[in-house]
Amino acid sequence: MAHLAFDPIRYGGPVDPQRVAPAQLMPIGGREVLFSAQIGDIAFEIRPLAALKAIDKAWRALASSSIEANVFHGPAFMLAAQQHLVEASGQLAALVWDRRSVAQPRLLGLWPLRRSRGSGHAGVHKGLDLRLAASGAPLLDRHFAVEAASTLLAGLRLATPDMTGLIFARIALDGPAARALRAAAALGAMHIRELDVRHRPCIWTHDADFLPGNALHACHETARALSRHGDVRMVSATAPDDVRDAVELFLALEASEAARCEDHPILFEARDAAFCRSLTRTLSRDGEVAVHMLEVGDRLAAASVTLTSQGHGWVWRTASDAALEARLSGDGPHATGGPEAQRAIPALLDLAIGQHFAGNPASDLLEAAAGRADTCSWTGHQRVGDLILGVGDDARPGNAGAAMRRALSAMTGWSSRNGHRGRA
C-alpha cells in the first residue's frame, strides 16, 4: 500500500470557523476557504457547505471509494439539502486533501459539520445531523481511512483552540468509519464514548431468512386480506422517468398520511418535497434510487423511497394508505384484520423490498432507516448511535501538533527528528 508523508508545518494561526465573518473569507484557488493548514502532503480545510459544488467531481470520487458508504454525505444529498432545507443553510464542511498532485488533488475525507449557535457549545463540533439523513459517518478514503480521520481530528483542533470534543451523530458504531475514528482518537489521546445507542433493523444479502416465521406468516395473511380489495402487486421504479413519476405518487401518499397524523415526518411541506424531487432526480441518473410501491387493485397501498451507494441501501422514506390500514385494523366498516394489521401493510412492503435486495448480488446491506426501528421485523440488526470524541488534559489544543506527529509516526513511519521516513 502507498503511504503519504505527513509533516506538520507552520500555518497562519488558529481560526475559529464559527466566528469568521463573510468579509473575512479567504479565497484560495478561486474557492472560499475559512481555514486551511498544510500537513506535509496533506491539506486540511474548512469551507462553507454552499461552496462545495466547485469540488463536485472530487467529492463524487470520494463517495464512491469511501471506506463506509454514506449517500447522506454525498454531493447529491448535501447540495440538495443546502438548497432546500433550512437546517443545512449556512453550515460547514471539513475536508482532507492529498496535495501530492497539484493539478489533480485527491479528496481523502469529508465531514459536514454544524456551525455552533450558542456560546456554551463553542468548543464542540457536531456533525450536520439533518432530520432526513440516516447516517452521520464521515466519508473517508478506503486506502487512507485512519490517516484521513487523524488529519480531520487534528485539523479541527488546530482551527478551534477551545475545542473540547466532536459528535458524530447516528453512525454505525461497529462500522469501518467508526473503527477508523476510534483508531485516530486513540492515537490523538482523545476520549471515546457512545450515546443514544439503538439497534437498527437491516438485511445482509447472504441472509435469505431475514424475516422470522411469525412475521412471514403475518405478511401472507395480510396479502390474503388485501386481495379482497383487488390484485396485490409490487412495482419498482428505477429508470429516471419512472422514478420522477413514482416520487410524485409517493409525495401525495405521504401528504395524505401526514394529514391524519400530526407527529408524522413533514416531508409533504413544500421545501421538503422540493428537496425530495431534487435528490431523487440526481440519484436516478446513476441508478442510486428506487421507489417501491405496493398496489392493491388501482390503489397505492404503500410506497418506499430507497437510496443506495456502493451496494449499501437505506429504506429512506415510507408512507402507507391510512384508510386502507384502518379497514384491516378493525377501525372501519370493512375491517378484515385485528389490531396488529395497522402495521401489516408496511411490513408487507418490507418483505417485498427485502426480497428485492436479497436477490441482488450487487447489494451488501439494506437498512430500515425510515423511522421503522420499532416496527420493522427484519432479523438482522446493527448498533447505531452517537460517537463522542473528547479532548482530555493530554490532548489540549496546544498539543495538537505533537499528537498529530505521534499518530502519523505510528501509521507512516515518519520521524520528525531525523527528517526522513522510516519503514512502513
Q: What is the pLDDT of residue 381?
A: 87
Residue 17 has pLDDT above 50, yes or no: no
Can 27-195+395-421 and 208-378 be said to share one CATH topology? Answer: yes
Q: Which residues contact 177 (CB under 8 A, 6 or more apart)?
A: 66, 67, 68, 70, 137, 138, 140, 145, 171
Phi, psi of 249 (to 5 degrees): -65, -40
Q: What is the pLDDT confidence band of residue 188, given thresholds at 50, 70 and 90?
A: confident
Confidence class for position 347, pLDDT limits 50, 70, 90: confident
Q: Per-residue pLDDT tens for 286-299?
A: 999 999 999 999 99
Residue 36's identity, in one-letter code, is: S
pLDDT computed for residue 30 by the predictor = 41
pLDDT at 415: 32
Cβ-contact 359, 158 below 8 angstroms:
no
Q: pLDDT tens-digit profile of 26-41?
A: 334 445 888 898 877 8
Determine phi and psi for 174, rounding to 5 degrees: -110, 10
Residues β-bridged to residue 281: none
What is the model's pTM?
Answer: 0.81
Mean pLDDT, the chain, rounded, equals: 78
Name the maximum alpha-carbon separation found in the chain: 84
Residue 349's pLDDT is what? 85
pLDDT given at position 208: 62
**What is the per-residue pLDDT across 92-119, written as a single tens digit (0 to 9) for each?**
999 999 988 777 889 999 999 986 654 4
Task: Return the pLDDT at 423.
Answer: 30
At residue 258, the pLDDT reads: 67
- In this predicted structure, the answer to whether residue 360 has a pLDDT above a threshold of 60 is yes
Tell me the average pLDDT across 290-318: 92
Is the pLDDT at 335 greater than 80? The verdict is: no
Of residues 388 and 324, more confidence is placed in: 388
State the Cα–Cα distance between residues 229 and 332, nearest whole angstrom.
Answer: 14
Q: Which of the following CATH numbers is that of domain 27-195+395-421: 1.20.120, 3.40.630, 1.10.30, 2.60.40?
A: 3.40.630
- Domain ranges for the chain: 27-195+395-421, 208-378
Cα 318 to Cα 201: distance, rounded to the nearest angstrom: 15
Give residue 9's pLDDT: 28
CATH code: domain 208-378 is: 3.40.630.30
Q: Residue 23: which pLDDT band, with cuts at 50, 70 and 90?
A: very low
User: Which residues on adjacent β-strands are paired with residue 234?
Assistant: 294
Q: What is residue 100's predicted lDDT score, i.e. its pLDDT?
A: 82
Instruction: Say whether pLDDT at 167 is over 80.
Output: yes
Mean pLDDT of 141-151: 94
- Provide the CA 58 distance to its chain's centre, in angstroms: 18
Q: Quick check: 407 pLDDT over 80?
A: no
Average pLDDT over residues 273-294: 95
pLDDT of residue 78: 96
Q: Flag whether pLDDT at 8 surpasses 50.
A: no
